Amino acid sequence: MTDTREITLTVNGTEHTIDVEPRQLLVHAIREELDLTGTHIGCDTGNCGACTVLKDGEPIKSCLMFATQADGSELMTVEGMEDLPEAGEDLHPLQEGFREEHGLQCGYCTPGMLMSGKALLDENPDPSEEEIREAISGNLCRCTGYQNIVRSIEYAAEELEAGEIAAADGGVVTDADGSTITPAEMTDADGEFDCGVENCCGGPMTDRDHDSIAGGESE
């Protein structure tokens, strides 16, 4: 009978208690015990980076760690990106970047690239091209030549910065010509706000909501 150990992992915000063999790698526990197959297995030797996840906020190659070594840790896999506050209705800005800038072809390396990119932008919201290349240096891609991946992460950095600026401005949107649109100017006939900008910052939705954050009262 194979000996197993009970461990507890918080993965993408949800706590899981699972039984694992002492020799079971973290990547296999994630895929087989938790059924989170977005984390890919490429080499099992730590060379390719396809299995990269975030452990307590730091990128690690989950094929180089036993599951028991991660007991009590907080993990994030690619599946957790859609639930982050900065994610829109569909995709996280990093995922949008890979789509818009054609940062993937076969897609096998993409989950690991996304995790490395997420760790970088969490630490450095405005990285240079050199810093991006350094951050993904442990992730191999046999398709793209990396340039589109770099542009994808640059795209995400710009989108995240734009979202922070819009939130700080209380939902005021800056148009392409530099002019600004206030929440009152975005009100439609039903009293709801629609700035018309893709990936809206999620500002006030009604006159009353706008007045609440502005410290006033609706008529």
pLDDT at 144: 83
Residue 23: exposed, middle, or buried by beta-carbon count in 10 A (0-12, 13-18, 19+)? exposed
Give the β-pairing of 180-181 and 173-174. antiparallel
Q: Which two tokens stand for residue 20?
A: 């694992």
Residue 17, classed as helix, strand or coil, is strand
In the chain the domains, ranked by start, together with CATH numbers, are 5-169 (3.10.20.30)
CB 41 within 8 A of CB 63: yes
CA distance 199 to 214: 23
CA distance 63 to 45: 7
CA 64 to chain centre: 22
Residues contacting residue 117 through CB under 8 Å, at least 6 positions apart: 94, 132, 135, 136, 152, 153, 156
**DSSP at 32:** I
Phi then psi dihedrals of residue 18, to 5 deg: -135, 160
Residue 33: exposed, middle, or buried by beta-carbon count in 10 A (0-12, 13-18, 19+)? middle
Residue 15, classed as helix, strand or coil, is strand
Residues contacting residue 107 through CB under 8 Å, at least 6 positions apart: none
- Which amino acid, one-letter code, is at 202? G
CB 41 within 8 A of CB 50: yes
Q: Which two tokens stand for residue 175?
A: 């148009």
Q: Which residue has the tokens 């296999």?
A: 28
Ramachandran region of residue 196, left (φ > 0), alpha (ψ -120 to 50) or beta?
A: left
pLDDT at 42: 95
CB 156 within 8 A of CB 136: no
pLDDT at 1: 54
pLDDT at 89: 83
Regarding pTM above 0.95, the answer is: no
pLDDT tens, N- to C-terminus, the chain (219 residues): 579 999 999 999 999 999 999 999 999 999 999 999 999 999 999 999 999 999 999 999 999 999 999 999 999 999 999 999 999 888 999 999 999 999 999 999 999 999 999 999 999 999 999 999 999 999 999 998 899 999 999 999 999 999 876 666 555 555 555 555 554 555 555 544 454 544 444 444 444 333 333 344 444
